[in-house]
Amino acid sequence: MTSLRPLSDSYGRIIRDLRISLTDRCNFRCLYCLPETEEAANFYRTRFDSVRNPNPTAPKLPDWKPRSELLTFEEIERLVRLGASLGIEKIRLTGGEPLLRQGIESLISKIVKIPGISDVAMTTNGFLFAPKARQLKEAGLHRISFSLDSLDAANFKKMTGREGLKEVLAGITLARELGMDPVKVNAVVIRGMNDHEIEDLAGFARDRALSFRFIEFMPLDSSRAWLKEMVVPASEILERLKSKFDLKPVVSSNLSETARRWAFADGPGEIGIIAPVTQAFCGHCNRIRLTSDGKIRTCLFSVSEHDLKGAMRGGASDSDLAERLRAIIWQKEDRHHIGEAEFVQPERSMSCIGG
């Protein structure tokens, strides 16, 4: 229910999608996000010559924000209400690990009722999902995406830095049993780490009727060890899947969709490939992000952030905030510059930005 002019940037893109990071903390230490383990360090050191001497100034793990710096649920609800009045329709709760935020179900039950918000989703590593699943469903959560990079317990631990495959698989099963539809599952594919599992992961999607997404590894890791050689390009993923499965392209009219999708000719479920590195989709991007400490990011790769928390806590009115948001979005970057000489990796990692 848009009451005001919708939010648009200077390239004519209308913003409809707000991703909210509820916390920068996480119970996992994924190799591509918050690498911490000796195994992760060894992977980076030994597989790729150019990271044998990683940037010594890069922090190993970010400093967690004190709780007083996190937006309260009331502040988040206020911003969602404001966003909805300006044309935001979709909300995704993410992090860090969103299920670490106590009482998340009470936030969900409030934002699903906001007029204009038609879709409330969450991205989670799934470890804490099962005990919370019913409350989340009752609160009105519409959709859920799990992250699952490996079906092999040992490799899962290498990828995530933690034991937990059993819990995540149980979470995915329960989400299907509770009738969440679609249940999406994301895997970040890293050369030499889990690329040998691409076919097994797709087979898992078909067996369990899941919407599975393979994602290219992006330079958003806290160790700043990303190299193009670690990215398995979408074209290679697709070629491998096509040689094993009979795939039919899924045509979508939604231009802002980030995944190219295929259905299995002989079973339920589907696969999608998200290729921000080799096939950027910036021209149709309709997203902005709100960090857990109240900063707006107009692109995953923004090198600057725009504070709304300070304005809110300083007494800004809704119309002040709306004008501020409009001005921020007007400056949204045209595209990212991954792979170009002038590319600068954002200071904060994916766990802080909110994937």
Contacts with ligand SAM, residue ranges (CB under 6 A): 26, 32-33, 94-95, 97, 123-125, 147, 186, 188, 215, 217-218, 220-221, 350-351, 355
**Whole-number Å distance between alpha carbons of 328 and 298:** 8
Shortest distance, CB of residue 211 to ligand SAM, whole angstroms? Answer: 13
Pick 96 or 294: Cβ nearer ligand SAM: 96
Q: Nearest CA to 177 among 133, 215, 145?
A: 133
Q: How far is the CB of 354 from ligand SAM (least distance, A)?
A: 7
- Whole-angstrom distance, CA of residue 26 vs CA of residue 350: 11
> Taking the complex as a whole, how short is the minimal distance between the CB of residue 189 and ligand SAM, in angstroms?
9
Amino acid at 190: I
Q: 150 touches which of ligand SF4, ligand SAM, none (CB within 5 to 8 A by kind)?
A: none
- Smallest gap, in angstroms, from Cβ of residue 29 to ligand SF4? 6
Binding-site partner at residue 300 among ligand SF4, ligand SAM, none, CB < 5 to 8 Å by type: none
Q: Is the Cβ of residue 85 or residue 147 nearer to ligand SF4 in the bound state?
A: 147
Measured CA to CA, the distance from residue 207 to residue 213 in angstroms comes to 15
Residue 129 near which of ligand SF4, ligand SAM, none (CB within 5-8 Å, type-dependent) = none
Comparing CB distances to ligand SAM, the nearer of 7 and 22 is: 22
**Minimum distance, C-beta of residue 220 to ligand SF4, in the bound complex (Å):** 9
215 interacts with, out of ligand SF4, ligand SAM, none, CB within 5 to 8 A per kind: ligand SAM
Among residues 16 and 19, whose Cβ is nearest to ligand SF4? 19
Question: Which of ligand SAM, ligand SF4, none has residue 94 at its interface (CB below 5 to 8 Å by kind)?
Answer: ligand SAM
At its nearest, how many Å lie between ligand SAM and the CB of residue 345? 10
Taking CB within 5 to 8 Å according to partner kind, which of ligand SF4, ligand SAM, none is near residue 34?
ligand SF4
Closest distance of CB 47 from ligand SAM, Å: 16
DSSP assignment letter at 190: B
Sign of the C-alpha dihedral, residues 347, 10, 112, 120? negative
Structure tokens at 162: 């933690």
- Between CA 332 and CA 288 the distance in angstroms is 9
- The answer to whether 178 and 137 are in contact (CB under 8 A) is yes
Distance of closest approach, residue 280 Cβ to ligand SAM, in angstroms: 13
> Of 336 and 348, which has the nearer Cβ to ligand SF4?
348
User: Residue 323: CB partners within 8 Å, gap ≥ 6?
Assistant: none
Cis amide linkage into residue 182, ω under 30° from 0: yes
Q: How would you classify residue 179: left for phi > 0, otherwise alpha for psi between -120 and 50, otherwise beta?
A: left
Nearest residue (beta carbon) to ligand SAM: 355
Q: Can you give the binding site for ligand SF4, defined by CB under 6 A? A: 26, 28-30, 33-34, 95-97, 125, 147, 350-351
Q: Which residue has the tokens 């780490």?
A: 193
> Which of ligand SAM, ligand SF4, none has residue 220 at its interface (CB below 5 to 8 Å by kind)?
ligand SAM
Residue ranges in 53-96 assigned as alpha helix (H): 73-85
Identify the sign of the CA torsion 12, 18, 20, 26. Answer: negative
In the complex, minimum distance from the CB of residue 107 to ligand SAM, in angstroms, rounded to a whole number: 16
Q: Looking at this protein, which amino acid is placed at residue 55? A: N
For ligand SAM, the closer of residues 186 and 298 by Cβ is 186
Partner that binds at residue 293, options ligand SAM, ligand SF4, none, CB closer than 5 to 8 Å by kind: none
Taking the least distance from each CB to ligand SAM, the nearer of 215 and 238 is 215
What CA–CA distance (Å, rounded) separates 133 from 128?
A: 9
Question: Of the candidates 146, 148, 140, 67, which has an alpha carbon nearest to the alpha carbon of residue 104?
Answer: 140
Residue 152, CA distances (Å) to 29, 69, 163, 194, 220 in order: 17, 38, 11, 10, 25
